Structure 1
Amino acid sequence: MSITFIDSVMGSGKSTYAIKYINQHKYTTKIIVASPILDEVDRYAHNCGIQQPLDIPSKASNLRRLLQRGESVSISHALLLNIDEGMLGEIKAQGYELILDEVIADAINVHYTNKDTLETMVRAGLVNVDPDTQKITWLEAEDYEDHMDVRDACREGEVYAVDNQYIVSHLNTSIFEAFSKVQIMTYMAPYSMLAKLFMVKSVPFNIATLDQGRVVFQTPMYSGKQFASLIHLDNTPRRQLNFKLSVSGQGKLSKTKRNRLSSYTNGFFTRYGKGVRRSERIWTTYRAYAEALVPTGTRPQFDMNNFVQHSAKGTNQYSNASVAAYLVDKHPHPAVEKYLVKHRVPFARGTKSVPGDQGLWALSEMIQWIWRTRIRNKESIRLYVPSKRMKKLLEGWLQ
């Protein structure tokens, strides 16, 4: 088994490489290609002439039959994560390869952050916490209807207690270990949560990049200098904010500060959105605080109709967007940081001048979101990033 991250900037031909690879090998090699969204599942199936599971009676049962027949298939990330032990055995026995278009979202998850919750679950006999490994095992019935997220996480992956307070889960890496070869198409791979998870579980991997459509095993260049002329950042001084736009920071914003952020965002869209259709303007923040930011006036320049989730990846749905606002300051959850540090996996916070792993993870997440716009078509965009930290990270990448 070998795992290789094909680490190359968006628009550099990773999907083209994957399609070419499948078409060159599909008659001699059994391949599963997994994509984050259904449009991409369709695209791989069409361009590579391979099967995709039907939902009659279910996609899982249909996939099982296709694997038993040794067919190459195009599936979603969600279906990949639902592959059971029987299908994993079939994959291993038949020597399937996996091409993963983009890293799996939420490779590491945080469920509860209240110490009392974990202690209550232990006392109630719902879970057991191993004193040495801190691994959590579900003890209640499979149909128990309280704390279902932890129940399902225990069933589908691995769950651990962190500092006797947090409950952290991650996907089961045996999914990847069943394949004879794994290629993962992404950008800034070392800072992804999937790469960090592989480090936690001591799953070896390599990092390569693309050079004129060929895979080369060399250190990728993490520079966006070639896009500097296409991304026009809003530099209006009064729209650069000093208050925190992290998920916890936004939860603590006063009404006055929230209204300022809303007003400045509306002003940005008013200035640069003239003659631009609403569908060509997109914005994001943390979903829990999005509606509170929508202006209450009669003609708001942004609302929930052009809101795009900050974790969006893979989709081309917004590729005509020319004006965008990124109202997020991304930080990993403290429980994830503690979990990685406990397993001696590097995840430094960095300094004001050096971003560290956490800053580069945040940058990679922001770049992925920006790539939902028309910049993917090599067309220029206007971008508002009110967080000074995130703006500095992006400017450093562009320079």
Structure 2
Amino acid sequence: MSKIKVYDAIMGSGKTYDAIERMKSYLKDDKSFIYITPFLSEIDRIMDSLPINSVYAPLGPGEKGEGKYDYNIDYCDESGNIDLNSEGSYQYLNKRAQFLKLCNKKRNIVSTHSLFMNLKKDDYSLFDDYILILDEVVNPLNVFNIGAKDIEILTNENLIIIDQETSEVKFIDDEYNDNAFKEVKRICNNSTVFFLDKYFFVWVFPIEIFKGFQRVEILTYLFKGSLLSSYFKMYNIDYKINYNNEEDHLRSIKKLLNVYEGSANYNESLNSFSKTWIKNLNKKNLKKVVNSTEYIFKKVFKTNTEENAFTTFKAFRQKLSGNGYTKGFIPINARATNIFKSKKSMAFLGNRYHDPQTVHFFKERGVILDDDIWALSELLQWVWRGRIRDNKPMNLFIPNSRMRKLLNDWLEGKFVSNGQSNKGFLKAV
């Protein structure tokens, strides 16, 4: 039986509430758990939902740790070393060190994605008695453009070796302390790194961490399109998906979403609003996009500036900003936050694809990425930052025909998984 269980359900269907109820039962059964959430703001919500002093959160600089955060294991020695069994009192620990000490004490923990992703592969041994509850997927890899010349230097100076069969990179000079390749040494020593396409190193989150947990629960939606799903396939890790019935949800959402269909859309170009397409726009055509977006907000949706939101790729934010919506920018990869839930009208000026290096990396390992399911998942996560998350009517402008079709197909139920009957077992191969 797989020890990884995915709770795959649409946003707003109660995944977090159900997880809190499971955590309450784990407390009664004296089972240890770690809850990982995307945002600091969610930590208080989780802690306030559980009995006081039953769960702990690593503290940042300046946080006093009063009340429910109190514990006395927040120090390391004067050299910065962590002694998991010591109660020494020389200096304040960073959050990762606190996290590890809490694990060593078998405390229940709530923390963030960013801290979780800083774990090292040697940390796995602390988690064998824990249940991991991961709220939303993490990105398990990062592509670094090192450059062919620097990789040549690293190899010729005997700082690294590259396995000819697996392409794994090992940093072999333990005494190297210069700044030039300090970061390369760090990522190689803390996780698994692969050489790719002459110019790139690919950092991969240590699979030892996931394997180290007694059980893993993942709360997300459209998991099969995520990079975490592909990562598990790459390592031949089985997982079980538990689906919810989506049909009733989709019917109500379809009534609430007003998706613009009109002449301002780019119906003929599937690649419109991709990074390359936007980058190649001249000033005249950039102005055309801005004018169209302004028109949609003002004349079609007829909403006020504070009610409007838009997104595009970070590099083009200023180029595609316009009157009546500039201040409502929401990052294109936003998820799990509710600070934009007052937005009535939203414009998605993007077209999402995996970067070529990520596609190539997985393809070399026999895993084919599904751009469409991933793009749909990213789009839905962004859309659900607006007032639709509270089941209120909302307007959408998605000028790219591919992204708009993905959304409309989803609303028609064409992406509903075979989990309607809660089958949902998927073996990753």
Bin for the TM-score computed over the shorter chain:
0.7 to 0.9
Is the contact between residue 140 and residue 228 of structure 2 (CA under 8 Å) also seen in structure 1?
A: yes
SS across alignment from 1:19 = helix
Superimposed CA distance per residue, residues 34-61 of structure 1 (whole angstroms, 9 cap, x where no aligned partner):
0010111221111123221223623223
Distance 1:275 1:245, change over 3 A: closer
1:192 maps to what in 2? 226
> 2 CA distance for matches of 1:195 and 1:142?
36
Q: Which runs of 5+ in 2 are unaligned?
A: 61-73, 75-91, 413-429
What is the TM-score with the length of structure 2 in the denominator? 0.80
> 1 CA distance for matches of 2:155 and 2:250?
49
Q: Which runs of 5+ in 1 are unaligned?
A: 212-219, 348-356
Distance 1:265 1:275, change over 3 A: closer
**Shift, 1:113, TM fit:** 8.2
> 2 CA distance for matches of 1:54 and 1:324?
35
Q: From 48, 53, 56, give the equivalent of 2:58.
A: 53
> 1 CA distance for matches of 2:122 and 2:202?
26
- Asked if residue 372 in structure 1 is aligned to residue 397 in structure 2, the reply is no
Q: From 304, 311, 314, give the equivalent of 2:336.
A: 314
1:327 maps to what in 2? 349
SS across alignment from 1:174 = helix
Is the contact between residue 222 and residue 397 of structure 1 (CA under 8 Å) also seen in structure 2?
A: no
Distance 1:119 1:254, change over 3 A: farther
**Shift, 1:143, TM fit:** 4.7
Q: From 281, 298, 302, give the equivalent of 1:253.
A: 281
Q: How does 1:277-296 map to 2 (within 5 A)?
A: 277-278=305-306, 280-295=307-322
SS across alignment from 1:292 = coil
- Asked if residue 266 in structure 1 is aligned to residue 294 in structure 2, the reply is yes
Identity %: 25
> 2 CA distance for matches of 1:374 and 1:358?
27
SS across alignment from 1:239 = coil
- Asked if residue 153 in structure 1 is aligned to residue 187 in structure 2, the reply is yes
Q: How many residues are aligned here?
A: 373
> 1 CA distance for matches of 2:107 and 2:205?
25
> 2 CA distance for matches of 1:221 and 1:123?
59
> 1 CA distance for matches of 2:158 and 2:319?
40
Superimposed CA distance per residue, residues 103-156 of structure 1 (whole angstroms, 9 cap, x where no aligned partner):
00x322222286555445544555432211111223566654346654443233
Superimposed CA distance per residue, residues 240-265 of structure 1 (whole angstroms, 9 cap, x where no aligned partner):
36363212222222222222212211
Question: RMSD of the alignment, in Å?
Answer: 2.5
Superimposed CA distance per residue, residues 54-92 of structure 1 (whole angstroms, 9 cap, x where no aligned partner):
236232232233222221111111112223466532222
Q: From 266, 277, 282, give the equivalent of 1:240.
A: 266
> 1 CA distance for matches of 2:248 and 2:197?
34
> 1 CA distance for matches of 2:381 and 2:213?
27
> 2 CA distance for matches of 1:149 and 1:387?
39
1:352 maps to what in 2? none
